[in-house]
Amino acid sequence: MTGGLGEFLEIDLTRVPMGELAARALVEAVARTDDRAERHYLEVKSAIDLKTKEGVAKVAKFILGAANRMPDVAARYFEGHAVMVLGVGGGSTPGIEPVEALDIDRGVRPYLSVNGPRWDLQRVPVEDGREVLLVIVDPPKMGQPPFPCFKDGPGLYNGQIVVRADGETRQATGEEVSQLQQRGRLERPDVDLVVTVDGTAVAYSCDEHILEHHIERESARLIAALRSAERASHFGLSSAALIVGMGQREEDRTEDEYRQEIESWASACRTGWGKALDALAAVLTAPATITITNREQAFLEDVEVEVHLEGPVRGLQPVSRKSFAAYDLLPSPPRAWGPWVDRSMFGAPHLPSYPYMPSVPSVPTVTFRNGGSVDIAVQVGDLRPRQAYRTDGDEVALVVDEGDLSELSATWRITARGHHAVYEGRLAVPVERRDMTPVMERLLRRLRKEDPDTGETDN
């Protein structure tokens, strides 16, 4: 994103800085720049006392001005929000004295009225018990009339209409008032949508030593088969003399080829370890379900939902325990040294063929795409008034590749036929930590045909 703060610093101006990490990143970015960072979506105050009439009036004026922007202009930055940063300036973050949110609201509310613009606060602690305060104003929307001031105060008067422009909050011009009146006439049916992701994302851990133990055990078994054949040869028993029964064949590999097969198998196991962990995670992780709720009277047609989960998260296709194939977790080891049975001699009898009639696959309602984060798309169809749509719950499981996260941030977007707007919101998904080492260790023992409790090889 270019323009404003984006010209000076590498910071994402497309997303609203809600949350401690995003807010702190914005504060640090603002502290490293100057007044040129101020735009219609950003105002910075280094020194302000919110316990005075002047300080409260400045906040109220910014809220009113930000709410009186046109939606198409506002939407380009901070997801349409506007942010006032209090306690930053001159290359430093002196902060301001903490003030209760209720006290700020009591001071600001008379200027806005009970039906005025919506706004929120985000705090960033700094030194000496002070804080940088972010005042975050909701995006303006079509259908909203101008928001006038409802009280006389420092720099404001009752009935005044102010707008937030680049670098200043000022009296609206006649043309701007006309645009805001037009904004108020372009109403749409009331739409109030909520999207939730039910379930958790799981951060798995697994001790890689169990893979090395598995490779060592299997390699030892395969080498033991070679040594056993060498001892038999020492006593005059050739592999050919050991061949008994139809279909058995003499060992046709050299010892070097056999040992190379073992090494290649071990390398393939290490390479495929990550896929093996994902395969097991797809079984162990409870699938996430997505619920879309229409809380108003609008009938929505052809609804499409996009959910973007931020961070080191991936989607996996869930696998039921019944269809899980443990023997496909890792590559199969080479055939043990010695005579072997050629099963190609026991082919199935010829059966008459019948025309193949493929079934028509159903169109999935939920799809996902991984790429450093995960994007989930839901085809809802029609959504009736005051009804909810819930996905089946077997389409996607969420796994996290870093174990120090406790929550994932997400955004959602909804479009519907006949509504020339994008409805957006935010949500959070909790992260759960699990150790899959014990389960994976039991599965590897099963692959080695060992008793799960003793580790002894089954006879």
pLDDT digits (tens, 9 = 90+) for 397-440: 999 988 788 889 999 999 998 777 789 999 999 999 999 999 99
Contacts of 459 by beta carbon, 8 Å cutoff, 6+ apart: none
Query: What mean pLDDT comes out for the span 148-157?
Result: 94
pLDDT-above-70 percentage for the chain: 85
More confident residue, 393 or 307: 307
Residue 361 confidence class, pLDDT cut points 50, 70, 90: very low
Is 323 in a helix, a strand, or coil? Answer: coil
Burial class (CB in 10 A: 0-12, 13-18, 19+), 278: middle
Between CA 323 and CA 325 the distance in angstroms is 6
Among the residue ranges 56-60, 284-288, 342-346, 349-353, the one predicted with the least confidence is 349-353
Query: What mean pLDDT comes out for the span 59-87?
Result: 92
- pLDDT for 304 beyond 80: yes
- Radius of gyration of the chain measured on its C-alpha atoms: 33
Q: What is the pLDDT of residues 95-126, one digit of tens each?
A: 999 999 999 999 999 999 888 999 999 999 98
pLDDT at 103: 92
Domains and CATH numbers, the chain: 4-187 (3.30.950.30), 201-341+363-447 (2.60.40.10)
Query: What mean pLDDT comes out for the span 198-203?
Result: 92
